[in-house]
Chains A and B, each alone.
Chain A
Amino acid sequence: MGLSAEDKMEIIELVGRYNHAGDVGDADAWADTFTDDGVFESKQIRYEGRETLKQLAIDTVNGIEHPRHHTYNFVIEGDGDSANMKSSITVMSVAHDRGSARIVGVGNYDDTLIKVSGAWKFQRRFVRFLYWHNPTWPS
Chain B
Amino acid sequence: MPLTTADTLEILDLIARYNHAIDSDDGEAYADTYTDDGVFQYPRGSARGRRELAELAHEITTNMPGVRHWSSNWIIEGEGDAASMTCYALIKVTDEGKPRLVGSGIYTDTLRRVDGAWKFQRRDIAIDGWSWPHWP
CA distance A12 to B72 in the complex (A): 10
Binds B, one of A42-50, A56-64, A93-101, A120-128: A93-101
Question: What distance in Å separates the Cβ of B48 from its nearest Cβ neighbour in chain A?
Answer: 27
Q: Are B131 and A100 in contact (CB under 8 A)?
A: yes
Q: Are B75 and A13 in contact (CB under 8 A)?
A: yes
Q: Are B74 and A92 in contact (CB under 8 A)?
A: no
Choose one: A4, A20, A95, A96; the contact of B75 (CB below 8 Å): A20
Within 8 A of A (CB), among B81-131: 86-88, 90, 101-104, 128-131
Within 8 A of B (CB), among A58-102: 66, 68-72, 92, 94-96, 98-102
Choose one: B5, B73, B104, B129; the contact of A20 (CB below 8 Å): B73
Write out the residue numbers on chain B whose beta carbons fall within 8 Å of the beta carbon of A100.
129, 131
CA distance A4 to B131 in the complex (A): 42
Nearest residue, chain B, Cβ from A15: B73
Write out the residue numbers on chain B whose beta carbons fall within 8 Å of the beta carbon of A5.
5, 9
CA distance A127 to B128 in the complex (A): 26
Is B47 an interface residue when CB atoms closer than 8 A count as contact? no
Q: Mark A1-24, 1 if CB is under 8 A from B, else 0.
A: 000111001001101110110000
Question: What distance in Å separates the Cβ of A69 from its nearest Cβ neighbour in chain B?
Answer: 8
- The A contact surface, by secondary structure, is mixed
Choose one: A9, A70, A72; the contact of B5 (CB below 8 Å): A9
Q: Are A19 and B73 in contact (CB under 8 A)?
A: yes
Choose one: A66, A69, A102; the contact of B101 (CB below 8 Å): A102
Question: What distance in Å separates the Cβ of B84 from its nearest Cβ neighbour in chain A?
Answer: 13
Q: Are A70 and B76 in contact (CB under 8 A)?
A: no
Question: What distance in Å separates the Cβ of B93 from its nearest Cβ neighbour in chain A?
Answer: 12
Write out the residue numbers on chain A whose beta carbons fall within 8 Å of the beta carbon of B86.
20
Given A19-B73, A92-B90; 8 other pairs, CB 8 A cutoff: A5-B9, A13-B75, A15-B73, A16-B73, A16-B87, A19-B72, A20-B73, A71-B73
